[in-house]
Structure 1
Amino acid sequence: MSKIEMTKKHLITCSVILVLVIISRLNIFSTDPVYPANHIAYTPSNLIFSKPAEEADVVYNFANEALPVNDKKVDFKLKKSIAKHRYKNIQSNVLHAKADKMFPIIEPILRAYGIPEDFKFVPLVESGLCGGTSPKGARGVWQFMPGTARSYGLKVGKGKDERLNLRKSTIAACKYIKELYGEFNSWTLAAAAYNNGSIKLERAMNRQNEDNYFRMSLNRETGSYIYKLIAMKEIINKPDKYGYKNFYSYNQKPLPFFLAYN
């Protein structure tokens, strides 16, 4: 083979390789990449407008019964209740201080009676920031009326009031709540009945032909009751998120024995 023929053959080979390279690069840039099914493509726009982690959608629930937060009315009432209990509105750590004292006593009793732990927030809502005796005569952190307290084993009268004993009143509350759950077959409705009374709640359910708390029209206090419980759950479990900075968790310090018998 002559030198000229060898040169021509070499040029043809190089040309073919160059063409293949060009075609390959064109295919790379003209074909959509294949990603796994769960891949999320981040573009400049969705990076800019994506929600911060703390504002991402949160699944709220009470006793594992989820709220229909896709309902605008429910979502508004919940956010309003949470905002009302932020530190900037309360300006005090009293709620966390109460939780520190009460929860170590309340939690094991709730478990023993098969009551969801979320009911430990009921005393914080019932007794509020001040506690004491209500204008109607309810007393103690569980706010028992005298007659109801006696019905569930508490001694009231003759210089003795066991509604003020956290351990005994919690046992009484568990018996009452369990009875309410047996009647309504819903922890949410049981909590609402604890606030409003089972007879009034049952009448409202029959009148409205409705058994979903979040779709019912109730009096102002009971209609906001579950929202308050969930708000309380939020601020106690996520204090930093809602502005509560200076507090100490009972999990980080021993609980004085006498608190069980206040």
Structure 2
Amino acid sequence: MNNPQRILSLLSITFLTILFINAINKSDVDPESNTHENYKVKALKLPANLNFSGEIVPVHKPNIRERMDRELLVNTYWQSNGLLLLKRANKYFPILEPLLEEYGLPDDFKYLAVAESGLLMDNPSSASASGLWHFLPNTAKEKKFGLEINDNVDERFHIEKSTRAAAIYLKYAKEKFGSWTLAAAAYNAGNRRIFERLSAQQVTSYYDALLPDETERYVFRIVALKEVLSNPEKYGFVFEKEDLYTSIKTRTVKVDTVISNIASFAKKFGTNYKQLKLQNPWLRENKLNNKSRRLYEIKIPVE
């Protein structure tokens, strides 16, 4: 067979194959909805026991039910984001859980970190809140939280220290408002704003207060994330354990001196600048000034 005949034959086969595939696909498509027969967007049934830290979400109230339904739908059908959150949760929850327990916080607060940052370290908000817990610079600098923030070091990106700081904030808010739900709302809107809204409206419950739109959605989003991430198969997420992200093994080196070049420092420990920074994102430059000779703990990746 010469070349022109061979090309014509291949084109004919390709054309017939396309027609065959289209015929098969069309047979599975509903002519009225124009979607595949297996594609369904289903309304979700709200679980009866939805709660945050043991405090029941009153979904028997129509307005509360609508708000809860909205967040559950959004976080169920944004499938790519949901699957990424499940993968990251496997990496970060084992770090957050014992720290929350250490400070006497309910385990549900790990989902607050998910709502804040999506468990992405470098995912700042429009208001310049940063780290897994999205601390604002001025809040993080308050003495009671003990986070160092400057051009050289930003401990909002230190997972353990920022988690402890968030726990301190939330425990104080709980003492002030008497409710874990209101403590979570205050984390979003600030203690003062929540106090002013409750006082002006003469209510004592998050679910009875009219709050700024972001805060109105905030606790419902946390509860929806908790529901989906706790029951992924129920909401259609399919994955194997090996699909999930994990932390790499590290060892800790204590440093109380200046590091003039972190890239050179990393090489001394058999790693490189990128790998060291990934484990210590609170180091913001290629040096550690440390004029006060403070003791820092630096995680070194172990192969």
- Per the TM superposition, whether the score is higher than 0.5 is yes
Deviation at 1:211, TM superposition (A): 0.9
Deviation at 1:129, TM superposition (A): 7.3
Indicate the larger mover: 197-206 or 68-77: 68-77
Are 2:216 and 1:226 equivalent residues in the alignment? no
Query: In structure 2, how many angstroms separate the alpha carbons of the residues matched to 1:186 and 1:85?
Result: 25
Pair 120,132 (structure 1): closer, same or farther in 2 beyond 3 Å:
same
The one of 185, 190, 209 aligned to 2:183: 190
Q: Which amino acid counterpart does residue 60 of structure 1 have in structure 2? A: L
Deviation at 1:212, TM superposition (A): 0.8
Cross-structure match for 2:138: 147
Cross-structure match for 1:200: 193
The one of 36, 51, 54 aligned to 1:61: 51
Deviation at 1:214, TM superposition (A): 0.6
Q: Is the 8 A contact 2:91 2:245 kept in 1?
A: no
Pair 232,253 (structure 1): closer, same or farther in 2 beyond 3 Å:
closer
Deviation at 1:128, TM superposition (A): 3.0
Query: In structure 2, how many angstroms separate the alpha carbons of the residues matched to 1:121 and 1:176?
Result: 16
Are 2:164 and 1:175 equivalent residues in the alignment? no
Deviation at 1:147, TM superposition (A): 1.5
Cross-structure match for 1:211: 204
- TM-score by length of structure 2 reads 0.64
Question: SS of the counterpart of 1:59?
Answer: coil
Query: In structure 1, how many angstroms separate the alpha carbons of the residues matched to 2:191 and 2:104?
Result: 20
State how many pairs are aligned: 207
Are 2:239 and 1:246 equivalent residues in the alignment? yes
Query: In structure 2, how many angstroms separate the alpha carbons of the residues matched to 1:80 and 1:94?
Result: 20
Pair 112,180 (structure 1): closer, same or farther in 2 beyond 3 Å:
same
The one of 233, 245, 249 aligned to 1:257: 249
RCO higher in 1 or 2 (8 Å CA, sep ≥ 6)? 1
Q: Which amino acid counterpart does residue 70 of structure 1 have in structure 2? A: H
Deviation at 1:113, TM superposition (A): 0.4
Q: Is the 8 A contact 1:126 1:143 kept in 2?
A: yes
Deviation at 1:72, TM superposition (A): 1.2
Cross-structure match for 2:62: 72
Deviation at 1:260, TM superposition (A): 7.4
Structure number having the greater helix percentage: 1
The one of 89, 96, 118 aligned to 2:78: 89
Gaps of 5+ in 2: 1-43, 251-277, 282-303
Deviation at 1:179, TM superposition (A): 0.8
Alpha-carbon displacement from aligned partner over 1:42-80 (angstroms, at most 9, x marks no partner): xxxxxxxxxxxx958521100000111111111111111
Q: Which amino acid counterpart does residue 151 of structure 2 have in structure 1? A: K
**RMSD of aligned Cα (Å):** 2.3
Q: Is the 8 A contact 2:88 2:119 kept in 1?
A: no
Deviation at 1:244, TM superposition (A): 1.3
Query: In structure 2, how many angstroms separate the alpha carbons of the residues matched to 1:253 and 1:134?
Result: 24
Query: In structure 2, how many angstroms separate the alpha carbons of the residues matched to 1:145 and 1:157?
Result: 13
User: Percent same amino acid at aligned positions?
Assistant: 34
Deviation at 1:91, TM superposition (A): 2.3
* Within-5 A mapping of 1:9-24: none
Query: In structure 1, how many angstroms separate the alpha carbons of the residues matched to 2:246 and 2:185?
Result: 34
Deviation at 1:90, TM superposition (A): 3.4
- TM-score by length of structure 1 reads 0.73
Cross-structure match for 2:127: 136
